[in-house]
């Protein structure tokens, strides 16, 4: 009995060792002939564009390519996309590729990976050009952490001059764009050049896998650091002709904290110098043909808003009761209605579905936690949501006027939301039109019984004696 057991254990260990060896050899068979990275620091939402030309120098075909990120960036990754380029110049097209988190054994220093699945396996001697796009949030560190009303906002950005990759890179270059020419300091990794608002690191030749060269850039960034700590969007569907949207915001300025006193006289008389990193206007892009728009906070309705709408788009410019400096917060509610026929449709199998936009309508805003609640009409059954990225889903029940069994609520939750998440999603459900008569029948019944009670009261003699 002991000998067969030892044989099975040895067989299992040998299989695992073979798989790990194949994984390591496949990563060694790939190399990056040329890499170009462009980092956009003009906003507090950092956008990175990465172009990789990957070659297969091994004998076995490769079906996936790994992207490596340091552990300090993984928690701040909001979006990771990849596409393969086909053709050249004006005839160039992009084919989107699937990108998923990947666990790799023996990752050095806690490196995290994303796997890019190729549409066609990369054979020996073949190459493919990938366009990778990813977004980092909360990656700018204000320094100093507190500034007065008359000071500009300075921030730190930390990264690597050399692209972190599990593959050897023959040549690479990194371009970093800052919002202004005011750069206090930056790390020099020869060759390093600066021209106006752009820093250039490289080109660097023949870099082995997992090469890393940390850099720190200290520069001026007075753009508003608008962060919504929590946003709850409630989309209530009524089959009587309208969809009502209510959005609850908890907004904060996530930049350098304001110190000292606030002088409104100085703020209004010297707008180009005083409070340059603060903001007092927020633009919200709403669906077209909105109606019944309102904007209020805990005190009441706020009239300092401007709505511009046409058949293509609607823009609501809102102004809080006070300008927001670093560390200041504002809580408010935006509500509006949209026509039912613009967003509710019927599928080929008879199911109804809502086609609405996910994400936050505020421009250039990060949402730490977004909750979308789709309130379905009473009597809806078998709800299901289709979202183009991972979200947490569950069902709730809510009660409104004249509800008997309650309304099904589809709840979608996601953290670290950026404007790129503003894409359509669908919520499917079954609905029997007979349920639309429930509330009118209930109202008619109430009025009928009330009328009959009045008639009975007037015609029945309730006196004790004749």
User: Stretch 19-46: mean pLDDT, rounded?
Assistant: 76
- pLDDT over threshold 60, residue 45: yes
- Per-residue pLDDT averaged across 426-453, rounded? 77
Beta bridge partners, 410, equal 374, 395
As a whole number, the mean pLDDT across the chain is 86
Instruction: Give me the pLDDT at residue 4, please.
Output: 45
Give the pLDDT confidence of 84-128 residue by residue, as tens digits.
Answer: 988 777 778 889 999 999 888 877 888 999 999 998 888 888 899
Least confident of 96-110, 231-245, 275-289, 298-312: 298-312
Q: What is the mean pLDDT of residues 247-266?
A: 90
Give the pairing type, strands 192-195 and 168-177: unpaired
- What pLDDT score does 27 carry? 53
pLDDT of residue 28: 61
pLDDT (tens digit per residue) in 388-423: 999 999 999 888 776 667 889 999 999 999 999 999
Cβ neighbors of 136 (< 8 A, separation 6 or more) are: 45, 46, 48, 73, 76, 77, 78
pLDDT digits (tens, 9 = 90+) for 292-342: 999 998 888 877 788 998 888 899 998 888 889 999 999 999 999 999 999
Res. 23: pLDDT tops 70? no
In tens, the pLDDT along 118-129 reads 988 888 888 999
Q: What is the predicted pLDDT for the residue at 266?
A: 82
Predicted pLDDT of residue 424: 95
Q: Give the Cα separation of 228 and 168 in Å (integer).
A: 40
Separation of alpha carbons 466 and 454, rounded Å: 22
Q: What is the pTM of this model?
A: 0.85
Domains of the chain, CATH where assigned: 26-220 (2.60.40.1730), 226-435 (2.60.40.1730)
């Amino acid at each position: 009995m002991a000998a067969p057991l030892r044989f099975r254990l040895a067989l299992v260990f040998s299989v695992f060792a073979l798989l790990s060896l194949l994984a390591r050899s496949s990563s060694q068979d790939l190399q990056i002939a040329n890499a170009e990275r462009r980092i956009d620091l003009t906003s507090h939402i950092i956008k990175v564009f990465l172009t990789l030309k990957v070659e297969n120098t091994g004998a076995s075909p490769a079906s996936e390519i790994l992207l490596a990120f340091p552990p300090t960036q993984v928690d701040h990754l909001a979006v990771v996309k990849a596409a393969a380029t086909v053709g050249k110049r004006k005839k160039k097209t992009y084919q989107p590729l699937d990108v998923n988190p990947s666990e790799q054994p023996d990752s050095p220093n806690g490196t995290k990976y994303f796997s890019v699945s190729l549409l066609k396996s990369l054979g020996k001697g073949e190459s493919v050009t990938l366009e990778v796009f990813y977004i980092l949030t909360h990656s700018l560190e204000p320094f100093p952490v507190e500034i007065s009303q008359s000071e500009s906002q300075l921030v730190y950005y930390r990264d690597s001059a050399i692209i972190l990759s599990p593959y050897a890179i023959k040549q690479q270059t990194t371009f970093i764009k800052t919002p202004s020419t005011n750069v206090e300091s930056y790390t020099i990794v020869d060759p390093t050049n600066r021209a106006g608002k752009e820093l250039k690191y490289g080109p660097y030749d023949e870099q082995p896998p997992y090469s890393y060269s940390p850099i720190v850039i200290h520069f001026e960034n007075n753009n508003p650091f608008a962060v919504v700590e929590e946003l709850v969007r409630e989309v209530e569907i009524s089959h009587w002709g309208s969809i009502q949207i209510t959005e609850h915001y908890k907004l904060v300025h996530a930049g350098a904290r304001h110190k000292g006193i606030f002088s409104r006289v100085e703020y209004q008389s010297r707008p180009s110098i005083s409070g340059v990193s603060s903001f007092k206007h927020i633009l919200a892009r709403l669906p077209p043909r909105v109606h019944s728009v309102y904007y209020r906070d805990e005190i009441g309705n706020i009239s300092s808003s401007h709505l511009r709408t046409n058949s293509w788009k609607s823009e609501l410019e809102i102004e809080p009761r006070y300008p927001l400096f670093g560390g200041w917060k504002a809580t408010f509610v935006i509500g509006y209605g949209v026509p039912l026929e613009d967003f509710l449709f019927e599928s080929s199998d008879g199911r109804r579905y809502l086609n609405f936009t996910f994400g936050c309508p505020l421009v250039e805003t990060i949402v730490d936690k977004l909750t979308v609640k789709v309130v379905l009409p009473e009597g809806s059954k078998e709800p299901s949501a289709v979202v183009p990225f991972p979200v947490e889903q569950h069902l709730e029940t809510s009660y409104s006027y004249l509800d008997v069994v309650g309304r099904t609520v589809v709840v979608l939750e996601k953290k670290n939301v950026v404007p790129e998440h503003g894409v359509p999603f669908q919520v499917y459900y079954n609905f029997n039109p007979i349920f639309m008569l429930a509330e009118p029948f209930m109202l008619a019944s109430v009025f009928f019984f009330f009328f009959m009670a009045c008639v009975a009261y007037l015609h029945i003699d309730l006196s004790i004696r004749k």
